[in-house]
Structure 1
Amino acid sequence: MTELQHTPIGDLPAIYETLQSTFRKGISRPLAWRRHQLHQLARMAQENKDKFVAAIYADFRKPEMEIQIGEVGPIVERSIKSAELLEEWAKPEAVDVKAAWQQSWGSTLYKTPKGVVLIIAPWNYPMILSLQPLIGAIAAGCTAVVKPSELSPHYSQTLAELLPKYLDTSAFRVVNGGVEETTALLEMKWDHIFYTGNGRVARIIAAAAAKHLTPLTLELGGKCPVVLDANTDLRIAAKRIFWGKCTNAGQICVCPDYVLVPRSVQDAFVEALSEVYKEFYPEGALNSESLSRIVNQMHYDRLQDLLARTKGEIVLGGKSDGHRGIEPTVFKNVQEDDSLLEGEIFGPFLPLVPVDSLEEAIDFINARPHPLVLYAFTEDPKFKQALIDQTRSGNIIFNDTFQQLAVNELPFSGMGESGYGYQIMNYSFDGFIHLRSSVHVPLEAEPFFAGRYPPYTAENVNLLAGPAVNMEIPPSAGVNGNA
């Protein structure tokens, strides 16, 4: 592991004050300045893609294709597109006021930046998860500290060296380090904190933010279930689910964590997965450059412990090497008290949990914290609608894995234990702005307000409050239940 150069804790107050001063002076407010910074971010990613690929590969051997498609490419594209759409996103919105007597007030929503923000990123997708929130912060007119993970030191060091060459360092800074540096950052008063990671750390961050009443975006993880319809194409489902499980060796928050498979087709689904495995890794997964390694020994040992304690039957994979490589491994007949269902796996293990009905699958999901993503493979509209109506999750995706992340127009968000707040493109922008309501009441309207001033009279109460208090409430036809 490379030696990460920690940012001296003594430097943090000066960094913070510099960003505060820049924001107070309005330097980050002009759209032309924001657009230039977004273009510079795209340029940094594009011109240094080989450096970023090499750094992330050095951290845990993530395949180049996964880095280019899932990290470098989206940063370039979304930075450029955000710059193109910036004027549309940031322009004040005239509000369509319905009450005739208020229509001359010029009711307006201004998109004002929240201020100086802190972005704390994880190691598993270090580039996209540190810079995608930064795109939103730049677009919103904020200044920001980016704190990448110390568990991806090659990437974090590369970012610290490259970002000052492209972005305005009076507005954007990288702070590197571990728990001590992060703790020092959390003692400061930020205008927004964007954290991507796990629920345990999120609680620490939320507690620190609460001391300053700082708003948060929490992008967390959890166990993302897959519900399989017995009548779906098992071969396609196996290919798409297995690809989702193998990407980054399962080290991603939207990874399909376990499959609720109809008992009647469990063996057929295992056979389909076996065929897909041979296609993906003809030379064996541990010999393949198409499979990431586990990020560090601690996580490797954690996965080995799950493997040692599971009572599920290994039907595919199960081997590991001395270099933090673990084969994608499939387990069948996994029961609800199994080690593999204790928490988010975050590794290349795929438990199959047999169920006898869709209702049983729904009950299984609802008995657990709301997942970040619920995946389902079905062509049956009723099956689909039942999942939409009877479950809750941050996202619900049909007949593929991960592809929701590729749609620029869709928000990405958790729910409950899997987080809150939205991101991707304009949703990232929205997370870093405040909708500042405004009215401009004409002075000529003063005669209209005569009745609101003291001394209050029964006549004026009836005049001003009567129309609302005495509004007729229409009947709710066809609705059962008590009032």
Structure 2
Amino acid sequence: MSLDSESTLVFHTMEEIDQTYARLTKTFQSGATRPLEYRRRQLLQLARMIQDNHTAFEDALIADLNKPRVETTVSEVSHLVTAVLYAVANFEEWALPQPCETKEAWRSSWGATLYKEPKGVVLIISPWNYPLVLTINPLIGAIAAGCPAVLKPSELVPTFTQLLADLFPRYLDPDAYAVVKGGVPETTHALDLRWDHIFYTGNSRVGRIVATAAGKHLTPVTLELGGKSPAVIADDCDFDIAARRVLYGKIQNAGQLCVAPDYALVLRDKVDAFVESLRKAHDEFWPEGDHPLTGSVPISNIVNPRHHARLVDLLNRTKGKVVLGGEIHKDKSISPTILTGVPEDDVLMDEENFAPFLPIVAVDDMDHAMRIVNSKHIPLVIYLFTNQEELKDKFLERTRSGQLVLNDTIMQLVVHEMPFGGQGESGYGMWFGKTTFDVFTHFRGVINVPTAHEPFFQSRYRPYTQDKYEWACGPSRAKIPEA
């Protein structure tokens, strides 16, 4: 192993990565991960690992990100236990062979069936912002599907990564599940190997690198990339509730969340009222005598000085006016910051901010708001605050996004039964719950054509005749209904 000077995390060598890959490949080829009882045992062990080490995970994320214990528990630990147990309760049903609907002529005798088979050895590359949930959630699906998995957490959360590497062999089969510690060179080396599926969560720049590397081996990929997710505030909603919910979503992990509301679109004559509601929500979250940067439970740190400097630069270059927050604490944290007067082409409206900033862009009407949303890359989610059914339908029909969430923020993440994923720059491929099982599963079609049907097939064989040609043309001459 080698020592990374910045994080002090001991990285695996390229040779160790190759050895891990070879070990897991051998395990898969042996068939050891296929039995349902094996998968069930590994899932239960995964749940025990999370539950037994609840406080240790909190401590790790305090060390790496200064993330409050409540945020780690709510967003990372508790829902993971629920997600694992949901998979345990359902994966055997998910794995059942699935009969196919076919023509009546051969439905009973051909037995067309989809068999659910594990794809093989998979690579899961996860980010630093929510390292536990974004590493383990895909793993749940991989285990349930019968796939060995190599996990590559971010080197930017060294305490967490080391903890996970220490815990894995204590709870899970080390011949089937492994953690690789490394930075860009180690990840690049891993991507050169032939995986059966790659699951990447992060930004679009690296997403392109992952997709290119996967393309060399025609490896299927799931990309979870984020983007600029807007909060659209219609004039009929309860501003106090909307502001509280938008600010709640914005300050989680200091805005370093792929589904955080990135900016707000507010009717021009309602901007002041919405800002006042945001002030009220801010004062509820940090009552008098408390402070986001220095209070009893401060906001999470920006992940490192480089990202902190980028955000300070954005604040210095924006044409918007800071109306709340904007305080900067050394190279570690920035207070929740609300800005008004932000033009559509502002620096804060370019790429995903990934920050505790909420730029407010004034719009003339909801059609104007939709034009702004549609002028940018497809977001991972649109948050629309309204009770107007007609406006909800408009956004469904005239905008695109991974999800549309009405009257709240980030709560789609707790609905494990609903597939989650983006489009275009915000990613591709759906996951969560059963869909994550499907991600790592090959649906293998099987039919059995009885020899007794041989007389029926005589028309397909040579020598070809006019009668056989007329028989072959039959399906193409079906009557087409009037429009």
Please tell me whether residue 435 in structure 1 is matched to residue 443 in structure 2: yes
Query: SS of the counterpart of 2:448?
Result: coil
Residue 36 (structure 1) shift:
0.4
| 1:409 equivalent among 408, 417, 425 | 417
Residue 291 (structure 1) shift:
1.6
1:452 aligns with: 460
Please tell me whether residue 474 in structure 1 is matched to residue 463 in structure 2: no
In 1: Cα distance, 2:388 partner to 2:107 partner: 49
Residue 451 (structure 1) shift:
1.1
Please tell me whether residue 210 in structure 1 is matched to residue 215 in structure 2: yes
Report the residue type matching 2:460 in the other structure: R
| 1:375 equivalent among 383, 387, 390 | 383
Query: SS of the counterpart of 1:188?
Result: coil
In 1: Cα distance, 2:470 partner to 2:118 partner: 42
Native 8 Å contact 1:315 1:330 kept in 2? yes
> Structure 1 residues 29 and 101, CA, compared in 2 at 3 Å: closer, same or farther?
closer
In 2: Cα distance, 1:358 partner to 1:262 partner: 8
Residue 102 (structure 1) shift:
4.5
1:57 aligns with: 62
Report the residue type matching 1:84 in the other structure: A
2:228 aligns with: 223
Query: SS of the counterpart of 1:104?
Result: helix
2:363 aligns with: 355
In 2: Cα distance, 1:365 partner to 1:322 partner: 34
1:479 aligns with: none
TM-score by length of 2: 0.97
Query: SS of the counterpart of 2:222?
Result: strand
Please tell me whether residue 247 in structure 1 is matched to residue 252 in structure 2: yes
Please tell me whether residue 69 in structure 1 is matched to residue 88 in structure 2: no
Native 8 Å contact 2:7 2:156 kept in 1? no
In 2: Cα distance, 1:161 partner to 1:399 partner: 41
Please tell me whether residue 31 in structure 1 is matched to residue 39 in structure 2: no
2:134 aligns with: 129
Instruction: Write out aligned runs for 1:5-20 (5 A).
Output: 5-20=10-25
1:302 aligns with: 310
Please tell me whether residue 311 in structure 1 is matched to residue 316 in structure 2: no
Query: SS of the counterpart of 2:376?
Result: coil
Please tell me whether residue 120 in structure 1 is matched to residue 114 in structure 2: no
In 2: Cα distance, 1:154 partner to 1:415 partner: 33
Report the residue type matching 1:60 in the other structure: L
Residue 99 (structure 1) shift:
3.5
In 1: Cα distance, 2:94 partner to 2:428 partner: 22
Native 8 Å contact 1:320 1:326 kept in 2? yes
Instruction: Write out aligned runs for 1:321-336 (5 A).
Output: 321-322=329-330, 324-336=332-344
2:432 aligns with: 424
Provide Cα deviations, 1:263-316, integer angstroms capped at 9, x if missing partner. 010000001101111111121211231521111101100100000000101110
Residue 467 (structure 1) shift:
2.3
| 1:276 equivalent among 264, 281, 284 | 281
Report the residue type matching 1:158 in the other structure: L
Native 8 Å contact 1:79 1:135 kept in 2? yes
In 2: Cα distance, 1:33 partner to 1:81 partner: 17
Query: SS of the counterpart of 2:142?
Result: helix
Native 8 Å contact 1:228 1:376 kept in 2? yes
Query: SS of the counterpart of 2:328?
Result: coil
Report the residue type matching 2:327 in the other structure: K
In 1: Cα distance, 2:206 partner to 2:223 partner: 10
1:194 aligns with: 199
Query: SS of the counterpart of 1:134?
Result: helix
Provide Cα deviations, 1:239-286, integer angstroms capped at 9, x if missing partner. 000100011110000000000100010000001101111111121211
Report the residue type matching 1:379 in the other structure: N
In 2: Cα distance, 1:103 partner to 1:455 partner: 30
In 2: Cα distance, 1:405 partner to 1:144 partner: 23
Report the residue type matching 1:82 in the other structure: A
1:83 aligns with: 88
Query: SS of the counterpart of 1:287?
Result: coil
1:320 aligns with: 328
Report the residue type matching 1:111 in the other structure: K
Residue 209 (structure 1) shift:
0.5
Query: SS of the counterpart of 1:401?
Result: coil
Please tell me whether residue 144 in structure 1 is matched to residue 149 in structure 2: yes
| 1:366 equivalent among 348, 352, 374 | 374
In 1: Cα distance, 2:77 partner to 2:282 partner: 27
Which aligned segments of 4 or more residues in structure 1 are displaced greater than 6 angstroms?
A: none
Native 8 Å contact 1:97 1:103 kept in 2? no
Name the % identity: 50
Range moving further from structure 2, 29-38 or 319-328: 319-328
Report the residue type matching 2:348 in the other structure: L
Native 8 Å contact 2:50 2:81 kept in 1? yes
TM-align CA RMSD: 1.0
Report the residue type matching 1:354 in the other structure: A
Number of residue pairs aligned between Structure 1 and Structure 2: 475
2:179 aligns with: 174
In 2: Cα distance, 1:466 partner to 1:11 partner: 60
TM-score by length of 1: 0.97
Instruction: Write out aligned runs for 1:260-271 (5 A).
Output: 260-271=265-276
Please tell me whether residue 106 in structure 1 is matched to residue 115 in structure 2: no
Report the residue type matching 1:470 in the other structure: R
Residue 131 (structure 1) shift:
0.7
In 2: Cα distance, 1:242 partner to 1:349 partner: 10
Report the residue type matching 1:345 in the other structure: N
In 1: Cα distance, 2:362 partner to 2:458 partner: 71
Report the residue type matching 1:74 in the other structure: H
Please tell me whether residue 461 in structure 1 is matched to residue 469 in structure 2: yes
Provide Cα deviations, 1:379-410, integer angstroms capped at 9, x if missing partner. 00011100000000000000000111111210
Residue 147 (structure 1) shift:
0.2
Query: SS of the counterpart of 1:266?
Result: helix
Residue 103 (structure 1) shift:
3.7
Residue 79 (structure 1) shift:
1.1
In 2: Cα distance, 1:80 partner to 1:87 partner: 12
Native 8 Å contact 2:305 2:331 kept in 1? no
Residue 457 (structure 1) shift:
1.2
* Structure 1: gaps (5+ residues): 477-483
Native 8 Å contact 2:125 2:152 kept in 1? yes
Query: SS of the counterpart of 1:124?
Result: coil
Query: SS of the counterpart of 2:200?
Result: strand
Query: SS of the counterpart of 1:207?
Result: helix
Native 8 Å contact 2:114 2:444 kept in 1? yes
In 1: Cα distance, 2:222 partner to 2:42 partner: 23
Query: SS of the counterpart of 1:135?
Result: helix
Native 8 Å contact 1:228 1:377 kept in 2? yes
Native 8 Å contact 1:5 1:176 kept in 2? yes
Native 8 Å contact 1:53 1:64 kept in 2? yes
